[in-house]
Amino acid sequence: MMHAKILAAVLFLAPSALAADRTWQQCGGIGYKGVMTCDRGDICQYWNDYYSQCIPAPTTTTRRTTTTTKKSTTTTKTTTKVSVTTSSTTEVPVTTTSTTEVPVTTSTTTTEVPVTSTSSTTTSTTPTSTPALEDLELYHGNALSSGWENWSWSSTFDFTYAGPPTPPAGSGGSVIQVTTGGYGGVSFRNPKGYAGYKTLVFQVAGASAWGLVADSTTEPFTSGAVSLVDSCPTPPTADAFTTCYFDIAKLGDHAWDRVTFQSWSDKDQTTYLANLFFTTKTALELTDTKSFGSGAAFGSNTLLLIGTGDITDVTVTKGGEPVAIASSEIVENPSRRVYAKLASSWAPGVYTVTHSAGVITITIPAAVTGDLSSANGTRKISKWIYGTNFPASSGFLNTYGIPLGRWGGNAMTPYNPITKYINAANDWYFENRPADNGGFESWAKMVAAGHAKAVYSIPMLDWVAKPKDCWSYSVAKYGPQDKVDPYNADAGNGLQNGTRIVNDPNDCYVPWGPSNVTAYLSSLDAATASTIEFFTIGNELDIADGTHPDIQQEKMSYDNELARVKAYGQAIRAAIPTAKILGPTSCCFWFWWHSSVGETDQAAHGGLSKLRYLLRELRAYDEEVGKKTIDYLDVHFNPQEGRPGDGSAADNASRLRSSRAWWDPTYKDESYMGQDGVYAGEENPGSVYFIRRMKKLISEEYPGLGLAVTEWYNNNDLVGGLQIADGLGIFAREGLDVATKWANTDPGSAGAAAYWLYSGGYNSAKPFPDQYLNVPIFYDPDTAAVFFAKGESNTAGVFINKNPTEYQHYKVVGWKAGTYTIRHFGTPGVRSDQGALFEATITLDASSTVVVPPYSAVFLSQ
Ligand SMILES: *[C@@H]1O[C@H](CO)[C@@H](O)[C@H](O)[C@H]1NC(C)=O
Ligand SMILES: *[C@@H]1O[C@H](CO)[C@@H](O)[C@H](O)[C@H]1NC(C)=O
Ligand SMILES: *[C@@H]1O[C@H](CO)[C@@H](O)[C@H](O)[C@H]1NC(C)=O
Ligand SMILES: *[C@@H]1O[C@H](CO)[C@@H](O)[C@H](O)[C@H]1NC(C)=O
Ligand SMILES: *[C@@H]1O[C@H](CO)[C@@H](O)[C@H](O)[C@H]1NC(C)=O
C-alpha cells in the first residue's frame, strides 16, 4: 500500500501583518504574485511592467514609495561596439493626483493548454451554477446582493451588461462587465462575512489572467492570490461563460469577509462575471465528474491520473494486451489524483490508458542506463545554493524550504542602517524613502522565522540616505531637467540635455565610510547577528556611477573598486572576524571583465580583465595584512538575461539549452555573451561556462576563495521552473557555494516548485541529500538533466525532462525495489499542476526504471 503525504495547498498564505495596511505596498508587476489587493479607498497604480503599488485613490497627495526589485535594462555602449545589458533595480515612483480613465477594450483570452498532446477527453462538466436556499448570494440579476460593499479599484464597471457573450442561465439577462486597469481589482466585502461557506461559485468569460483572493479585514488575514484558471475545470474563454469554483475551504478557517478578483496583467482586461454565490458544498462535491482529465507515467510502474474518476473504470493496454493495475492510492491535496501501480513495469512501447472520459496515450522510449555503483566520486553540496533574494515571507521560506534570503539591490546600496532610509537611485528620480520591511533588523526577523539565514549587502559608497523625504536633483536648486518625476515636478533625473548635473550629495545623504560599517556591525544585537550568514560588499559596485551618479560621480575604475572592496571588506572583518564576506558582487557579464572607464582602464592594469586583476591584487593585499578581505568571489549572472521570450517552441528550447551556460565550455552562448570580442582576453571567448570558468579564475588568482552568485535569474513559468530545477542541480554538481536567485520567486509558480523539488519544504524528511553522486549516465543537456545525491540513509535523483512532448526513460542500476518518495511538477500539469506541490510515495519495482513525463521535473528518493 502506498501512503500518501498530504501537503498544504499550493496557496501562498501571507503573514497576517501584511494585510493590515496595504497602502504603499506592491500589488502587481511581472512575476509578482504576493498580496495583490489594496485597502478600500486605495487603487493599485501601475508604474512599470514590474511594479504596481497600492496608493490612495486620486485626490489624495502623499509622498512616499515602496520597494521593488526587478531587473530593468540599461544599455552601455562600449568602444568595441558591443552593447551590453547591465542589471539594475527598477524602482518606484511616488503618489498621484491624477484620475486614470480606463478605456474599454476587446478582451483577449490567454488559454493555458496541457503540454502533452497525448490525452484526449470527452468529459463535459455539468456545472452547478445556481444557488440553493442556504447559499449566500453575491451578485445575481443586475445587482450586488444586499449586504455587499464594493471595494474595487482601478476598474471600470457595467453592472447591467447584457452581452455579448450571451448571459448564462439564471443571470436574469445581465452580467457584470468589468475592465480592470493594470493590476486592477474587482472586490466585494460583506460585513457579515462568509466564514463557514466552502466555495465561491461564479461564471466567467473573457480575460483569465486573474487571481482570486479571500481576505479577512477583521483578523486581518489574506489568502494571497490563487490563479483564477485553477478554479475553473476548463479555462475561461472570451465568448462563453465557464462555471468556476473558488475553494475557500482549502484556505483554512478565517473570518473571511472580502473576496477579490485581481488582474495579473499590467494591461487592461475586460471580463464578464455572472451568478456569484457562496455555498457550503466543497468545490470537489460540486465539480466531481468522476473522470480523469490527464495522466502520465512515472517511475517504474506508476500511473498518475488527475481528476475524480474511479480507478476501476480504467484499463491499460500495450499492443492490444491488457496490463493489470495492481493497486492504487488517492491523494487529495493540492488536487485529487490517483497513483496507480501497474502489475508490470513500464517497458518501451505504446500504452493506451482508457478511462471513462477519454484516452491517454503514453509512449515509453528505450531506457538509458546509469549505475549508482559506478559513481566516480562524491562532492559535498553546499546548502546555501538554494537561496533567493527578498523572499516574500517566512511562510514562503518554510513552504519551499529556502535556507537563505538576500537583502540587496540598488535602493539598498545607500541604505542608512541607523535611520533606516533608502534612496531609489536612478531607478526612480533619486528619491529617499523609509526602508521597506522596517529596515534590515525587522526583515531579518522574518527570515529567521522562516528558518533561514540572511545575506546582508553592506553599503559601500561614500554616502547613505538622509532620513528625510528628499531627491538629489531638485529642479528648484539645479534648474530644468530632461525628465522629472511625473508625480513630483521638483524631482529631476539629473540630466540637462543629456549632461549629468554635478549635485551636492549633502542634499539628501549623510557621509558613510568603512568606520561607520565597523561601528554599526559591532552594535548589532545578538539575534540579528546570528541571522546573518554572509555579507556582501554592497551591490554591483562596478556600475555604481550609472545607478548612483548622485553619490558616485566618477566612473567606477579598477582602482576605485579595488580600494572599496579592500576598505569595506576589512571594515566588516574588523567588527566580525569570522564573517563570511562576499565580493565584489559584480553586476553582470560585461563588467566581469571591464570597468565603466572603458578599455583604457584594462590597458592601464597590465591588460588584465577586471575580475582577474581584482583577485590578483586582493590576494597580494590579504597576504600583506594577514586577513582575508573576501571569502567568496561574488558575481551576478543571468543565463541569456533570464529572459522569457515570445513563448514559441524555439524560444522555450533555447531557454532550456541556456542552462548549459552555467557549466559547459562547449556551449556557445546564444545571447550577446556568445561574441568573442567581449571577453577581454579571457580564454575560450563566446562560451560562459560560468561556474567552471569562475572556479578556474579563482584557482589561478586567489586559490581557496569560494564562489557565490548572489543574483541569478530565470522566469517562473513552467520553462523557467525547469531551468531553475536544472540550475540548482548544476550548482550541486559543480560545487557552487552560495546562490540567491533574483527576487520574485512567485509562490505557487513552477519557479518556486523547483526549490521545493529539492527541499521538500522546511525540515522535510526527504530533501535532496548533501553528497553529490557523480553517476556516469548519458543524456543530452539540451533536452534532459539528471542529478543524484546520497545521504546517510538515502539516495535521491532529480530527473528533468526538457522535451515538451516526449517521455524520457532511465534504468537506474543500484536502486532497489521498494517505496520511494516522489515529488514532481510540470506535465501532466494541466494548468493548476505546473506549480503544484505534488508529493506521494510510490513503488519502484525490481527493474528500477524511471519514466519521466514531458516538460516535468521529478524527484525520487529511497
Ligand atoms: C465599484 O467601485 C469602483 C471603484 O471605486 C467604481 O469604479 C465602480 O463604479 C463601483 N461600481 C459600482 C457598481 O458601484
Ligand atoms: C537643452 O538645450 C536647449 C537649447 O540650448 C535649451 O533651450 C534647453 O533649456 C536645454 N534643456 C535643459 C533641460 O537644460
Ligand atoms: C559615520 O561616521 C561619521 C564619523 O563618526 C559620522 O559623522 C556620520 O554621521 C556617520 N554616518 C552615519 C550615517 O551614521
Ligand atoms: C513554452 O512554454 C510555456 C511554459 O513556460 C508554455 O506555456 C508554452 O505553451 C510553450 N510554448 C510552446 C510553443 O510549446
Ligand atoms: C566521472 O563521471 C563524470 C560524469 O559522468 C564524467 O564526466 C567523468 O569523466 C568521470 N571521471 C572519471 C575519472 O571517470
DSSP 643-706: ---S--HHHHHHHHHGGGGGT-TT---SSGGG-GGGSTT-SSTT---HHHHHHHHHHHHSTT-E
794 lines ligand 2 (CB under 6 A): no
774 lines ligand 5 (CB under 6 A): yes
Looking at the fold, whether 145 and 169 belong to one and the same domain comes out as yes
* Cα–Cα dist 608/538, whole Å: 23
Residue 579 half-sphere exposure toward CB, CA atoms < 13 A: 31
Taking CA atoms, 402 is separated from 449, 600, 754, in Å, by 12, 43, 11
What local confidence, expressed as pLDDT, does residue 46 receive? 67
* Assigned domain for 124 exists: yes
Please choose from 510, 515, 521, 523 the residue to mutate so as to test ligand 3's pocket, defined by most ligand atoms within 8 A of CB: 510
509 lines ligand 3 (CB under 6 A): no
The model's pLDDT over 281-316, given as tens digits with 9 standing for 90+, comes to 887 778 766 777 788 899 999 999 988 888 999 999
Looking at the fold, whether 82 and 133 belong to one and the same domain comes out as yes
* Assigned domain for 89 exists: yes
pLDDT above 50 for 191 = yes
Average pLDDT value for the chain: 84
Q: Under a CB-based contact definition with an 8 Å cutoff, are residues 841 and 819 in contact? A: yes
* Assigned domain for 425 exists: yes
Looking at the fold, whether 137 and 280 belong to one and the same domain comes out as yes
* Cα–Cα dist 654/639, whole Å: 11
All cell numbers assigned to 247? 475553494
493 lines ligand 2 (CB under 6 A): no
What local confidence, expressed as pLDDT, does residue 56 receive? 67
DSSP state of 5: P
Q: In what order do the strands lie in the sheet with 315-318?
A: 119-121, 358-364, 349-355, 315-318, 321-323
Atom of ligand 4 nearest to the CA of 652: 1
The position carrying cell 545578538 is 526
DSSP state of 719: H
Please report, for the chain, how many H helices and E strands are present, in that order.
Answer: 16, 52
- Comparing 724 with 142, the larger pLDDT belongs to 724
What local confidence, expressed as pLDDT, does residue 834 receive? 61
Looking at the fold, whether 159 and 281 belong to one and the same domain comes out as yes
The model's pLDDT over 379-389, given as tens digits with 9 standing for 90+, comes to 899 999 999 99
378 lines ligand 5 (CB under 6 A): no
How far apart are the CA of 729 and the centre of ligand 5, in A? 16
What local confidence, expressed as pLDDT, does residue 26 receive? 73
Looking at the fold, whether 229 and 166 belong to one and the same domain comes out as yes
- Comparing 691 with 3, the larger pLDDT belongs to 691
pLDDT classification of 842: cutoffs 50, 70, 90: very high
- Comparing 8 with 194, the larger pLDDT belongs to 194
How far apart are the CA of 753 and the centre of ligand 4, in A? 17
Quote the Cα angle for 310-311-317, to 5°: 135
* Assigned domain for 483 exists: no
Strand duo 387-389 + 738-741: pairing:
parallel
* Assigned domain for 67 exists: yes
How far apart are the CA of 376 and the centre of ligand 5, in A? 6
What local confidence, expressed as pLDDT, does residue 830 receive? 42
pLDDT above 50 for 120 = no
pLDDT above 70 for 375 = yes
Looking at all shown ligands, the one closest to residue 478's CA atom is: 2
Give me the number of domains the chain comprises.
Answer: 4
* Cα–Cα dist 635/641, whole Å: 14
The model's pLDDT over 392-402, given as tens digits with 9 standing for 90+, comes to 888 889 989 99
Spatial CB neighbours of 577, under 8 Å, sequence gap ≥ 6: none
Which residue CA neighbors atom 14 of ligand 2 most closely? Answer: 496
* Assigned domain for 843 exists: yes
End residue of a domain, out of 287, 312, 338: 287
Q: What is the CATH number of the domain that holds 212?
A: 2.60.120.430
- Comparing 50 with 544, the larger pLDDT belongs to 544
Q: What is the CATH number of the domain that holds 371?
A: 2.60.40.1180
Quote the Cα angle for 628-630-635, to 5°: 160
- Residue 638 neighbours by CB distance under 10 Å: 22
What local confidence, expressed as pLDDT, does residue 767 receive? 96
End residue of a domain, out of 287, 315, 350: 287
Please choose from 30, 113, 115, 827 the residue to mutate so as to test ligand 4's pocket, defined by most ligand atoms within 8 A of CB: 115
What local confidence, expressed as pLDDT, does residue 402 receive? 97
- Comparing 689 with 250, the larger pLDDT belongs to 689
- Comparing 443 with 236, the larger pLDDT belongs to 443
161 lines ligand 1 (CB under 6 A): no
* Assigned domain for 13 exists: no
- Comparing 116 with 325, the larger pLDDT belongs to 325
Looking at the fold, whether 838 and 793 belong to one and the same domain comes out as yes
Among the ranges given (250-259, 364-373, 442-451, 457-466), the one the predictor scored with the smallest mean pLDDT: 250-259
Q: Hey, what's the torsion of the CAs at 530, 536, 538, 541, to 10 degrees?
A: 180
Average pLDDT rounded to a whole number, residues 434-452: 90
Among the ranges given (44-48, 217-221, 225-229, 322-326), the one the predictor scored with the smallest mean pLDDT: 44-48
Looking at the fold, whether 176 and 311 belong to one and the same domain comes out as no
Looking at the fold, whether 193 and 308 belong to one and the same domain comes out as no
pLDDT above 50 for 725 = yes
Ramachandran region, residue 740 (left: φ > 0; alpha: ψ -120 to 50; beta: rest): beta
Looking at the fold, whether 139 and 214 belong to one and the same domain comes out as yes
Looking at all shown ligands, the one closest to residue 102's CA atom is: 1
What local confidence, expressed as pLDDT, does residue 59 receive? 44
Looking at the fold, whether 622 and 651 belong to one and the same domain comes out as no
pTM exceeds cut of 0.85? no
Looking at the fold, whether 153 and 168 belong to one and the same domain comes out as yes
End residue of a domain, out of 259, 287, 315: 287
Looking at the fold, whether 590 and 610 belong to one and the same domain comes out as yes
Which residue CA neighbors atom 11 of ligand 1 most closely? Answer: 157
Looking at all shown ligands, the one closest to residue 520's CA atom is: 3
- Comparing 94 with 716, the larger pLDDT belongs to 716
771 lines ligand 5 (CB under 6 A): no
Instruction: Give the domain range for residue 659.
Output: 640-687
Which residue CA neighbors atom 1 of ligand 2 most closely? Answer: 497
Q: Under a CB-based contact definition with an 8 Å cutoff, are residues 473 and 509 in contact? A: no
* Assigned domain for 721 exists: no
Cis, bond preceding 505 (omega within 30 deg of 0)? no
The model's pLDDT over 588-600, given as tens digits with 9 standing for 90+, comes to 999 999 999 998 9
- Residue 721 neighbours by CB distance under 10 Å: 30
Please choose from 666, 774, 810 the residue to mutate so as to test ligand 5's pocket, defined by most ligand atoms within 8 A of CB: 774
